Amino acid sequence: MGHLASRDAYKNLEDRINWFTQGAPVSNTLYKILQVLYTEKEAKWVSLLPVRPFTAKKAARIWNTSEAKAEKFLTHLCEKALLVDSCHNGVRKFVMPPPMAGFIEFALMRTRGDIDQKYLSELYYQYMNVEEDFVKDLFFVTETRLGRVFVQEPVLTNANTLHILDHERASHIVEEAEYIGLGTCYCRHKMLHAGHPCEIDAPLDVCLTFGNVARSLAEHGGYARLIDKSEAMDALERSYAHNLVQIGENVREDPAFICNCCGCCCEALQAARKFSPMQPVATTNYIPEVEKETCVGCGKCAKACPIFAISMEEGENGKKKAVVNKEICLGCGVCAGNCPTKAIEMKRRPIQVITPVNSTHRFVLQAIEKGTLQNLIFDNQAFANHRAMAAVFAAILKMPPLKQALASKQFKSIYLDKLLSMQENQKKKKM
């Protein structure tokens, strides 16, 4: 009976994780991963928690325990990076991070002795690099991507620098952040333990987190180290020097992370290589243009491209020239940074990439595209207050009509239908 109860605890946790817009396909490997990360009691209790932020008081009510005991246990979960906390107007709230970028990565963002990190890394490798269902679900199920690429600012010409938007610049994210955390790169740490060390020997200490995520990871267990803006810019510079691609949360306001990624270890870039021409992350608004007259055919750009989007092809005079496959190019700018003759210039794409405003906007878009909006709305404790519900409705009202229609169909709410109808009537009056 004890064995069955234990299995039920982890199975319930799997179900809870898959209540997210971003879930984790069930497999025996995932079950083993959860056994490493969570004790049976932790699995049982976490499986009951709501999707959206909650207080210790709410958790105590769900767990039928005292608020003091609930807060102590929640703090313990923060120390294991299974939850993150925040404090607004003196009210402490907790939230379970999604699998990615979340508790799966946090477990390897520092060296720790309370779990077998080598065994965990091997399980991660099996789950993500061999089985692949998780990676496909993470990167390709929804049109709205989890992550987006930042263009490398040093390679932009003065003319293009004038047109770059604030949210397109990693340096702007650094400048605006209240807290900045620096941690170990989960991807390269995982691959090192799994017996596949980074092919370009890229640095490990370049994983950037921001805001409450950075503060929580730093305060509870040292999964990140709080740093100043100068050290964060140094991390970006070191990443540029190693031809790493900056991939951050796909939002315009307050992204939670910027990873500095290599093509050999990063799941997103590996997915770009493996499932080309499908793109696992949102591209930048830039695309490289090769000046054929200046290109000397050295091949450095093709060698540096992390997703093999550049090939060397013979030109009219028989000499090789760089050719960019624009269908799969992410627009990171690594190629331009490696061109010795400056023959590659990053130009604005003719059709601009649209970035969700914030995390709520992205969650709702992905939920609509995945057909799980009702899960987000009707989570047993997720939107128990009008402010949280209003945030979801506000995000829906900013969407194009087709997305609004899908949201209305999934939500089946008279209230939402009326809101959309009112918005349409207001538009007609203005016309």
In the chain, where the domains are located: 2-136, 137-348, 359-420
Instruction: Return the minimum-mean-pLDDT range out of 119-133, 253-267, 313-327, 391-405.
Output: 391-405
In the block, residue with structure tokens 């194009």: 400
pLDDT score for 157: 84
On the question of pLDDT at 408 being above 90, the answer is no
Section 269-295 average pLDDT: 95
Task: Give me the percent of the chain exceeding a pLDDT of 90.
Answer: 72
What is the average pLDDT score of the chain? 89
Tell me how many helices (H) and strands (E) the chain has: 21, 12
Q: Tell me: pLDDT of 411 over 50.
A: yes
DSSP string, 52-79: S-B-HHHHHHHHTS-HHHHHHHHHHHHH
Contact 420, 428 (CB under 8 A): no
More confident residue, 388 or 336: 336
pLDDT of residue 163: 80
Q: Where is pLDDT greater, at 315 or 121?
A: 121
Residue 275 scores a pLDDT above 80: yes
Burial of 64 (C-beta count, 10 Å sphere; 0-12/13-18/19+): exposed
Site of tokens 């990063």: 266
Report, as an integer, the average pLDDT of 219-223. Answer: 95
Q: What is the pLDDT of residue 401?
A: 75
pTM, rounded to two decimals:
0.86
User: Is the pLDDT confidence value at 122 over 60?
Assistant: yes
Residue 430 confidence (pLDDT): 60
Return the CATH class of domain 2-136: mainly alpha
Over range 368-378, report the average pLDDT. 72
At 431 the pLDDT is 56
Q: Could you tell me the pLDDT band of residue 381, with boundaries at 50, 70 and 90?
A: very low
Task: Calculate mean pLDDT across residues 398-422.
Answer: 62
Give the mean pLDDT of 99-104.
Answer: 92
Task: Please tell me the predicted confidence (pLDDT) of residue 39.
Answer: 97
Q: State how far the Cα of 361 lies from the Cα of 250, in Å rounded to an integer.
A: 10
CB-based contacts of 8, cutoff 8 Å, min separation 6: none
The least confident of 73-77, 204-208, 388-392, 411-415 is: 411-415
Alpha carbon of 30 to those of 2, 36, 323: distances in Å?
21, 10, 41
Which of 115-124, 231-240, 310-319, 346-355 bottoms out in mean pLDDT, i.e. has the lowest?
310-319
Residues pairing with 182 in the sheet: 208, 225
Q: What are the tokens at 49?
A: 């928690």
Q: Does the domain formed by 137-348 have CATH 3.30.70.20? A: yes
Report the pLDDT value the prediction gives residue 419, as an integer from 0 to 100: 53
Please say if the pLDDT value at position 400 is more than 90: no
Residue 389 in this model has a pLDDT that exceeds 80 = no
* pLDDT average, residue stretch 330-346: 97
Residue 415 is predicted with a pLDDT of 47
